[in-house]
Amino acid sequence: MVDKYGLVDRLTGGTASACGTLAGTPAGVVADDGVTTYWHSEDAALPHWWKYDLGVGKAWRFGKLRLLGTIAGTSGLPYKDIIIQGSNDDSTFTNLSTIQCTNTNGWQEFTFSNLVAYRYLRLWITSTYRGDGAPQCPMLYEAEAFEILSPPTGFFIFLSEAWNRHKKLWTPKLLLPEDLGFSY
């Protein structure tokens, strides 16, 4: 069976931002393909967010997310509940999926349905595994996002695909003698 998600992390070449950061832990390191650097949100009440802007003219139909929240030997605060969101204008965000991460070290992978290509991908962190009432400031080592390769199923068909099929069926074609098997 062919994987329906791309193999290339699409969080490259863009710009990361966050609701806030502690000194020395910028948002951009979450998409740097390095597992030794991390973003750590500021000490503030939840929710917190981390966002990636793919750049002008770029958009992907995301359907798979991989997160590295903590690694063995660290004392980071793992996030728990996250809403994955997409936007094309950086002001109105659509909820794509609500996920719950486990309180373990290592990579976690999530898949979800999505019919729209988005320029912005945002992780809206609504809870962590910290239960002592202290400030909630989650950290994130790395994020990877992959597009959905297969077309949507069911009633939805992309208009461009439908138009291309229409053009193939109804565009007149000039038939030459060699198209009919004649030679000169």
The predicted-structure confidence for 103-113, as pLDDT tens digits, reads as follows 888 899 999 99
On whether residue 24 sits in a domain, the answer given is: yes
Average pLDDT value for residue range 142-151 = 88
On whether residue 7 sits in a domain, the answer given is: no
On whether residue 161 sits in a domain, the answer given is: no
CATH number for 34: 2.60.120.260
Domain that holds residue 132: 15-154
On whether residue 28 sits in a domain, the answer given is: yes
Phi/psi for 2 (5° steps) reads -85, 135
Report the predicted TM-score, pTM, of the whole model to 2 decimal places: 0.77
**Per-residue confidence (pLDDT) for residue 132, from 0 to 100:** 67
For the chain, what is the domain count? 1
On whether residue 5 sits in a domain, the answer given is: no
115 and 34 Cβ atoms separated by less than 8 Å: no
Task: State percent of the chain over pLDDT 90.
Answer: 46
On whether residue 141 sits in a domain, the answer given is: yes
On whether residue 70 sits in a domain, the answer given is: yes
**Per-residue confidence (pLDDT) for residue 50, from 0 to 100:** 96
Counting beta carbons within 10 angstroms of the beta carbon of residue 100, is it exposed (0 to 12), middle (13 to 18) or buried (19 or more)? exposed
**Per-residue confidence (pLDDT) for residue 42, from 0 to 100:** 84
On whether residue 184 sits in a domain, the answer given is: no
